[in-house]
Structures are given as C-alpha cells and as structure tokens.
C-alpha cells in the first residue's frame, strides 16, 4: 500500500512498492552519521529518480551543515571542459575535493568520455578517503554501461545499486490520485482506474497526461471522466507496451536460441545465459512482478531473483554480454541513447 511521506518542505513523496527500496537507500544515505557506501539509483527516464534524490538532498541539508554539489553528469563534463580550456583544472579539482557530499545524475551521459570519467573516478576516491558521501543516478545498471572505465563501474557496483521499476497498475492509480490531489484536479475513482489500466507509462508521463486531460475537461466545463479519457487516448499516438513475450523473442533472436528453449526446463549454458538476460530485462523494462515473470518461464520467483543477480554479476566481467543486452534494448526500442 502506498503512503505519503512528508519531507522537510511542503512537497510530498509517494512511496510505492516499485520505489520503496530506493527510498530506503536514499534516506539512509542522507541520515546516517558516517558516509558509508555510495548509493546508485537506476531506472527508466521519468521514473522519479531525480524527485527522490531531491528529497535525499533536502534531508541531508536539513540535518547538518555541509558542502554539497548536486550536478548532472553533462554539467560536470561541461565544467571540466571549461576548466581545461582556461587551464584551471587544478582549481576545478580542488573545488570538488572540499565537498562533504556529491550528487551526480544521469551518468549515462558520460559514456565514451573517458578523460571525464577518469577525473570523476579520482574525485570519488578522494571523497571516499576523507569520509564524503556520494549519490548517483543513471538510466542503466552499472553492468549495462558501455565505454566506461572498469574501475569507475566497479565503484558504482561496489556501493548500493538499487533499481526503480516502472509502476504497476495499482501504483499507477495511486500516482494519479496523488497528482490529482497535488494539482487540485477532480478525478473520480473510475477515471483514475481506467487511466491506470490503459496507460502503462512512467510517473512523469502519467502526470503530463493528467494535466492534459484536466485542460480538456476545464474547456468543456466538466471534470475528467472515462469517455473523455477514451477520446483523448484514441487521438494520441499510444506508447508501445512491452510484454514478456516481446522481450523473450528479442532475446532469443539476439542469442540465437528458440523461444521454446528459453521457457523449457533445459539448463545448458547455451540457454541459461539468455534466459537470465531475458528475466533481467523483464524486470527492468516491464512492470511485471517476480511471480509473473517466473510463471512465464516456468520457474518460481526465487529463481528469477537469482537469475537477475547472476546476470548482473556476469555483465561486470563480460563486455560481450553487455553488448548483447544493449542490442536487445535496441530491438525493443528502449535504448535510452
């Protein structure tokens, strides 16, 4: 069940099953007395990573006096480039070395930018050495980062990596009701339920659609009802919904195995690795729960957990596997780049 958590401002954060682990990790990062391991929050665009991070930053600032920088990875890279052009790299480095806490978002923007990654790695290690705390966000898991320094990926993986999943239907309804209350939009339960069922999208997209519907309803001097939702959705280009079968077929094609083999009891290495990859992608790209994924592959939920963990571990040491998964994402149209 969802609950609202009051932050140190009037803003409220909705805690759902899909973001509860990430919320716990960020609050622990902000509230613990010692720095501890870095926290790495990853998930799809629009899932709420930045919203959660802002909550953690407010908690941290409200608890103690400290020097903190909160930047996007692209902003960090631009600052470094400007400092390099002005021959001020040492001053740039010193400004970061003095920090008590560093937050860097959208790390995927640094893919292929190895000199910038090296600077970031050096700064992170120095922060860790003097007790600074670090919080990252990214659209990809550490193992999915291609063209990253292995040592930097190791830092991401060696902290507390936590996935924020796409919201399932019940969570989407809670989000819609939350957004409606925040924006003072009348939203009957039947309308919220219908919209949640028909739109398996991110929280950001849900909020945008709700605001669009509210504008349409106000122009008609009405409130949001199911017929209006049906009318608007019929006129929109609907986002593609990815199903477990879509992922399984894409994985089978990429790895050169059959769909039947992925769902069979066969445990050969030729089939187990693609099956693990398919289960991991199913967790990351759909709102399906462990039991649903397990049922699709004729396994139990604990097998799915093990498969996802094993696949993430293998990705750390196997660049070819990372490339395979990136290709599957492209086949499915979910590559964030």
Asked if 51 and 123 sit in the same domain, the reply is yes
Asked, for residue 46, whether it belongs to a domain, the answer is yes
Q: How confident is the model at residue 101 (pLDDT cuts 50, 70, 90)?
A: very high
User: Lowest mean pLDDT: which of 2-6, 93-97, 116-120, 166-170?
Assistant: 2-6
Q: How confident is the model at residue 63 (pLDDT cuts 50, 70, 90)?
A: low
CATH number at residue 65: 3.40.50.300
Asked if 203 and 315 sit in the same domain, the reply is no
Asked, for residue 61, whether it belongs to a domain, the answer is yes
Q: Of 102, 131, 163, which residue sits at a domain end?
A: 163
Asked, for residue 106, whether it belongs to a domain, the answer is yes
Asked if 47 and 95 sit in the same domain, the reply is yes
Looking at the structure of the chain, the number of domains it has is 3
CATH number at residue 283: 1.10.1750.10
Q: What pLDDT is stored for residue 236 in this prediction?
A: 65
Look at the alpha carbons of 257, 263, 264, 265 in this order and tell me if their dihedral is positive or negative.
positive
Asked if 38 and 112 sit in the same domain, the reply is yes
pLDDT digits (tens, 9 = 90+) for 235-294: 765 556 788 999 999 999 888 889 888 999 888 878 999 999 999 999 888 867 788 899
- pLDDT (mean) for 21-27: 96
For residue 208, pLDDT over 80 is answered with: yes
Q: What pLDDT is stored for residue 184 in this prediction?
A: 93
- pLDDT (mean) for 146-172: 92
Asked if 158 and 175 sit in the same domain, the reply is no
Asked if 190 and 296 sit in the same domain, the reply is no
Asked if 90 and 208 sit in the same domain, the reply is no
Asked if 67 and 216 sit in the same domain, the reply is no
Asked if 216 and 252 sit in the same domain, the reply is no
Asked if 75 and 47 sit in the same domain, the reply is yes
Asked if 52 and 131 sit in the same domain, the reply is yes
Q: Of 114, 137, 163, which residue sits at a domain end?
A: 163
Q: What pLDDT is stored for residue 217 in this prediction?
A: 92
CATH number at residue 197: 1.10.8
Asked if 149 and 9 sit in the same domain, the reply is yes
Enclosing domain of residue 248: 244-332
pLDDT digits (tens, 9 = 90+) for 299-332: 988 888 888 888 888 887 788 888 888 888 888 8
For residue 11, pLDDT over 60 is answered with: no
SS (HEC) of the chain: CCEEEECCCCCEEEECCCCHHHHHHHHHHHHCCCCCCCEEEECCCCCCHHHHHHHHHHHHHHHCCCCEEEEEHHHHHHHHHHHHHCCCHHHHHHHHHCCCEEEEECHHHHCCCHHHHHHHHHHHHHHHHCCCEEEEEECCCHHHCCCCCHHHHHHHHHCEEEECCCCCHHHHHHHHHHHHHHCCCCCCHHHHHHHHHHCCCCHHHHHHHHHHHHHHHHHCCCCCCHHHHHHHHHHCCCCCCCCHHHHHHHHHHHHCCCHHHHCCCCCCHHHHHHHHHHHHHHHHHCCCCHHHHHHHCCCCHHHHHHHHHHHHHHHHHCHHHHHHHHHHHHHHCCCCC
Mean pLDDT, rounded, of the chain? 87
Q: How confident is the model at residue 22 (pLDDT cuts 50, 70, 90)?
A: very high
Q: Of 163, 192, 207, which residue sits at a domain end?
A: 163
As a whole number of angstroms, the distance between CA 284 and CA 272 comes to 18
Q: What pLDDT is stored for residue 24 in this prediction?
A: 96
Q: Please indicate whether residue 238 or residue 98 has the higher confidence score (pLDDT).
A: 98
pLDDT digits (tens, 9 = 90+) for 225-249: 999 998 888 776 555 678 899 999 9
Asked, for residue 337, whether it belongs to a domain, the answer is no
In this prediction the pTM is 0.69
């Amino acid at each position: 069940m969802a609950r609202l958590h009051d932050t140190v401002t009037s803003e409220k954060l909705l805690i759902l099953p899909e973001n509860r682990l990430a919320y716990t990790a960020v609050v622990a990062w902000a509230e613990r007395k010692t720095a501890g391991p870095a926290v790495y929050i990853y998930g799809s665009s629009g899932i709420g990573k930045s919203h959660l991070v802002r909550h953690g930053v407010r908690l941290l600032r409200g608890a103690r006096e400290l020097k903190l920088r909160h930047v996007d990875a692209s902003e960090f890279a631009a600052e470094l480039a400007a400092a390099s052009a002005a021959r001020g790299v040492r001053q740039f480095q010193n400004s970061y070395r003095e920090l008590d806490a560093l937050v860097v978002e959208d790390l995927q923007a640094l893919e292929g930018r190895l000199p910038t990654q090296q600077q970031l790695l050096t700064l992170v290690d120095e922060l860790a050495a003097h007790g600074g705390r670090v919080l990252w966000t990214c659209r990809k898991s550490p193992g999915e980062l291609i063209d990253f320094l292995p040592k930097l990926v190791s830092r991401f993986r060696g902290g507390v990596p936590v996935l924020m999943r796409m919201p399932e239907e019940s969570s989407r309804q809670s989000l819609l009701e939350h957004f409606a209350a925040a924006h003072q939009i009348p939203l009957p339960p039947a309308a919220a339920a219908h919209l949640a069922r028909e739109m398996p999208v991110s929280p950001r997209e849900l909020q945008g659609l709700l605001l669009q519907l509210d504008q349409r309803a106000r122009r008609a001097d009405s409130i949001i009802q199911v017929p209006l939702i049906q009318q608007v959705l019929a006129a929109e280009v609907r986002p593609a919904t990815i199903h477990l079968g879509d992922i399984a077929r894409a994985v089978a094609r990429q790895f050169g195995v059959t769909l039947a083999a992925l769902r069979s009891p066969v445990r050969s290495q030729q089939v187990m690795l693609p099956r693990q990859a398919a289960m991991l992608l199913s967790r990351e790209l759909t709102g399906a729960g462990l039991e649903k994924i397990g049922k699709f592959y004729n396994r139990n939920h604990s097998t799915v957990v093990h498969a996802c963990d094993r696949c993430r571990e293998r990705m750390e040491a196997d660049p070819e596997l990372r490339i395979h998964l990136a290709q599957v994402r492209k086949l499915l149209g979910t590559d964030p780049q």
